[in-house]
Each structure stands twice: as C-alpha cells, then as structure tokens.
C-alpha cells in the first residue's frame, strides 16, 4: 500500500498498469498531499490567531428621553412687526433669496376674519438673475408654519414676479399627499389681498423719490405689464407711472403732476411713442403742440405701446397720440379766425416741417408697426389690416410748399416739381418713423435730383441698365397730392386713383 497508496481506488491490478502511467499518478498524489498540508496549516494558523485575539467588550448605554424644543425661535412672519428690526428682516431676506444685498422695501401684514393668513413680502434692489422656471416661484407657501410648496401664479400675478416672500395660512386647501395646494376660492381671496398690499407698498415707496427712482428704473416694465394685464387695478397702477415730458427736463413726472400742469382749455393728455427721448423730442409731430405750450409725454419703451392702448384715459382726461389722425388742439380766438379764413384742411401740428404722415385713430403708430414687423410670426396677410391708412398732412406756411405751389401754378408741366412732390412724400414717411418698401427707388430719386441741381446730364452717366427710378411721366394725381388742399375750387378725388405706388394711403 505504501508503494501504491491509491491502488485500492483502481479496479484493475496496479502491477498490470503501464509504468509511465503509474509514475504520473504517483506524482499527482504527492501534489494532493502537499496542498492538503498547506490547507491544514492555514486553518491551524487561523485558529491560533482567533484564540489569541482579545474579545471586544460591549458597552451598555442607558437611554433617556427629554422633552425639549430644539428651535425656540419663532418664524419671523408670525411675530409682531413692531418687535422686528430691519437687521432681522435683512438676514431673513438674504437667507430666503441668496442675495448679498439688502432689500429695498418690505411689507409685513396679517389678515384676520373669515380667512386668516400672514405674509411677508420683499422688494429687491435689483432684478435677480434666475432661470425661467424659478422666476414664477418667488413666494413660499406655508400651512401652520410647515412649508408646502413654492407658489406660481396662484397667489401673485405674473407682473409681480419680482416680489419675494412668505405666505402662511391655516386655511389653505391641500391635496391628499399634503404636498400641493388645491384650487379654491380661498386662493383667489388671498391673491386679491396680496396684490392690494403690493400696490400699497409701491405707493408708500413712491413718497421717497430717491428710492422710488431706483425701483422704477428696474421694475417699471412690470408696472406697465400690469396695466396691460390687470384691468381691475389699472387705475391704481397708472398713478405709479413716471415719464419724461417736453417740460420736465431730465426729471421724470407722473401723470397726476401732468394733469396739475395742464392749461384750462386742455382736455387731453398728449403723448408720443418712439425709440429714444431725443428722437421723440425732435419729431415733427410735437412741433405744433409744443409751440402752443402744451406738455407732451415722451414714452420710449416698446411696452408703452401696449400700455397706452389699454390705459386710454387718466383722471377723466383721454390720452391722445400726436402721431395719429384726429388730433385737435384747443384753439384761441386768433387761431380760430385763421382757420376759418383758410377754408381748407391743413395740418395743425406742423411748424418747421413741410409735411408728415399720420395714422388713423385706431391704427398702429409707426413705432408699433416696427415692433410688430420685428415679431417672428409676422404675416402681412393676417395682420395687415391693423396697419391703417396713412394720411398725408402738409404745412401750407412752409417755404418749400409755398415755392412748389408757385412754380406749379406758373408751369404745370414743370417736371422737377412732380419729382420733388414724390420726394417730399417719401421723406415724410421716413421722418414720421415709417419704413419704405423700396428704399432703392427713393435713393435713385435723390441721386436724380442731385444730378439736376449740379447740372449733370443723364446722357453723360454710363450705366448698364437705364434707371427706372424716375419715370418719364408722373401721373397728374401725384401733382394733386400737395396742392389740392390749397385750392378751394378743386373737387375731391378718390385716393384709389393714385396708382399702385401709394397703396393704403389717403390724402
């Protein structure tokens, strides 16, 4: 057995095996013994280490229960406003908004009655840079001092989305999961009261001109958006507006102050819209109004177009755009005499300009037309009807109009007069704020008049194609555009006879 230790595992006689095969099996048995000894040594080593290692002792801890409130400070919005300092308000505002500056104004109030709630509202110094998703969630809703969710438009309208704060009420309805508010009449009542308190805060802030100037520079567009959207509080919001006027200089004035400065005969508030203060101040539309001593309100933001269309009147005075048709200024006795003696329809707004283009009362102004054309989904076929007919008004006392009239009376076939009439008409479009459909034709007409003034013959100018800017014969109706208003016996003509060059215009 020592020689063949595994012979008992073989059925055949080991002496009959091949010697080489027997040798291989013997070597395998040796390897098995070696591995077995190694495993036994490892197990013995582990047993020795386990016996010599010290056992850890378990400590017994006595458990005690103490009834103690960890956060003893009450929420700031539940405290009496008289007991809270501005430093505490500032610290809470910074923790709420993550802003490094202090707030501009704060409104802390509570409402009691059938519905009870408390609110703490802040106005920041500047518009905080936040994403579009968080822009509508500036106030936190609490029920019994437990945070529920950040509110959207349920409690504060969109135009007041710069307001930060907390609203806490025990009557807010919750859903089953107690994680969201349910729509109910209670939310509408809270919404109404919060808007009312915000407007009170703005009015209080307006008493301090320096702070209100900072507020208005940043959030004036929100107030104007509120006039466009909130018809209920439109009158109160209009009292917060501030504008530059023709008589205010560098300071801004309110509409209430404008009404106090109005003349006794003045029945309307005159305003003009444009891109900048300098542009509207130099506009031809304000010449006559300013000369008569009437104050003109300068509105220089695109949102003012929507704001003025919705406002329509203030303190019983209608708002009238000086760029639209139907402008009527209160006339004194001398002006009325002069108008009766003229017996013609002339412009009552021009002084130093020969002519201008005005729009109808219910149509878009030039500035509004540019704003709408800049929209991505502008379509001439669908909104073109809002581009009302444009009316040409001339100043008969202007030297250009008088000289043209004299030359036209002397020689009705004088070609330069006809070209100048069209040139004046196109220039009036540009000076009135409108755009030309074909600016190249207008440029070619100007070049043509320059050549005539310099005495350059058309034949001397070499060009590949003849210029079609100046036709050989201009229709006689163009001649009538400027001078029919100065002739008493001239019969009225239909504007549809002017040709395709002046679509959408009435004279």
Please give the backbone phi and psi of residue 209, each rounded to the nearest 5 degrees, phi first.
-65, -40
What residues have CB less than 8 Å from 428, skipping those under 6 apart? 354, 355, 356, 357, 392
Cβ atoms of 360 and 295 closer than 8 Å: no
What residues have CB less than 8 Å from 399, skipping those under 6 apart? none
CA pair distance 152, 136, nearest whole angstrom = 5
> Given its phi and psi angles, is residue 318 left (phi above 0), alpha (psi -120 to 50 degrees) or beta?
beta
Number of H helices, E strands in the chain: 17, 14
- For residue 229, give Cα distances in angstroms to 160, 347, 374, 471: 11, 36, 22, 51
**77 closest CA partner among 114, 115, 109:** 109
Say if strands 317-321 and 313-314 run parallel, antiparallel, or are unpaired. antiparallel
CB atoms within 10 A of CB 19: 6
What residues have CB less than 8 Å from 504, skipping those under 6 apart? 387, 389, 390
Q: Name residue 123's beta-bridge partners.
A: 105
CB atoms within 10 A of CB 202: 22
CA pair distance 415, 147, nearest whole angstrom = 81
What residues have CB less than 8 Å from 124, skipping those under 6 apart? 97, 99, 101, 103, 104, 162, 164
Q: Is 484 helix (H, G, I), strand (E, B) or coil?
A: helix
CA pair distance 405, 496, nearest whole angstrom = 23
- For residue 241, give Cα distances in angstroms to 221, 247, 271: 10, 17, 14
Q: Name residue 297's beta-bridge partners.
A: 245, 271
144 is in an annotated binding site: no
CA pair distance 428, 349, nearest whole angstrom = 14
CA pair distance 108, 122, nearest whole angstrom = 9
CA pair distance 286, 268, nearest whole angstrom = 14
| Binding-site annotation, residues for ATP | 178
Residues belonging to the binding site are 178
């Amino acid at each position: 057995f020592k020689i063949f230790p595994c012979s008992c595992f073989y059925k055949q006689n080991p002496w009959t095996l091949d010697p080489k095969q027997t040798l291989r099996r013997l070597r395998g048995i040796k390897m098995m013994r070696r591995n077995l000894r190694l495993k036994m040594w490892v197990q013995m080593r582990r047993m020795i280490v386990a016996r010599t290692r010290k056992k850890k002792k378990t400590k017994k801890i006595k458990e005690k229960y103490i009834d103690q409130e960890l956060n003893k400070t009450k929420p700031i919005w539940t405290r009496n406003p008289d007991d809270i300092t501005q430093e505490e308000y500032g610290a809470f505002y910074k923790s709420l908004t993550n802003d490094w500056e202090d707030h501009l104004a704060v409104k802390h109030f509570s409402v009691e009655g059938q519905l009870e709630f408390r609110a703490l509202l802040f106005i920041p110094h500047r518009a905080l840079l936040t994403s579009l998703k968080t822009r509508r969630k500036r106030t936190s809703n609490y029920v019994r001092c437990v945070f529920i969710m950040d509110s959207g438009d349920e409690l504060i309208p969109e135009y007041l989305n710069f307001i930060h704060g907390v609203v806490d009420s025990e009557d807010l309805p919750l859903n089953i999961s107690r994680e969201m508010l349910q729509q109910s009449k209670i939310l509408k009542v809270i919404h109404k009261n919060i808007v009312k308190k915000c407007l009170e805060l703005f009015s209080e802030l307006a008493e301090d001109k320096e702070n209100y100037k900072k507020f208005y520079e940043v959030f004036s567009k929100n107030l104007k958006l509120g006039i466009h959207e909130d018809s209920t509080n439109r009158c109160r919001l209009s009292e917060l507006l501030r504008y530059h006027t023709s008589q205010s200089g560098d300071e801004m004035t309110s509409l209430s102050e404008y009404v106090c400065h109005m003349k006794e005969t003045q029945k309307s508030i005159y305003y003009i819209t444009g891109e900048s203060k300098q542009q509207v101040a130099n506009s031809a539309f304000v010449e006559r109004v300013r000369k008569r001593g009437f104050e003109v309100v300068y509105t220089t933001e695109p949102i003012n177009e929507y704001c003025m269309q919705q406002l329509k009147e203030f303190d019983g005075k209608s708002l009238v755009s000086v760029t639209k048709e139907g402008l009527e200024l209160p006339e004194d006795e001398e002006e009325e005499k002069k108008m009766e003696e003229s017996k013609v329809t002339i412009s009552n707004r021009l002084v130093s300009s020969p002519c201008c283009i005005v729009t109808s009362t219910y149509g878009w102004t030039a500035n509004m037309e540019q704003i709408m054309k800049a929209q991505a989904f502008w379509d001439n076929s669908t909104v073109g009807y809002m581009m009302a007919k444009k009316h040409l008004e001339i100043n008969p006392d202007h030297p250009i109009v008088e000289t043209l009239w004299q030359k036209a009376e002397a020689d009705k076939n004088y070609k330069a007069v006809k070209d100048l009439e069209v040139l004046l008409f196109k220039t009036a479009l540009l000076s009135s704020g409108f755009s030309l459909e074909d600016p190249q034709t207008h440029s070619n007409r100007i070049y043509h008049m320059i050549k005539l003034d310099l005495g350059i013959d058309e034949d001397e100018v070499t060009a590949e194609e003849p210029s079609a800017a100046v036709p050989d014969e201009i229709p006689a109706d163009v001649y009538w555009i400027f001078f029919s208003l100065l002739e008493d016996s001239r019969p009225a003509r239909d504007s549809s006879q002017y040709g395709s060059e002046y679509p959408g215009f009435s004279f």
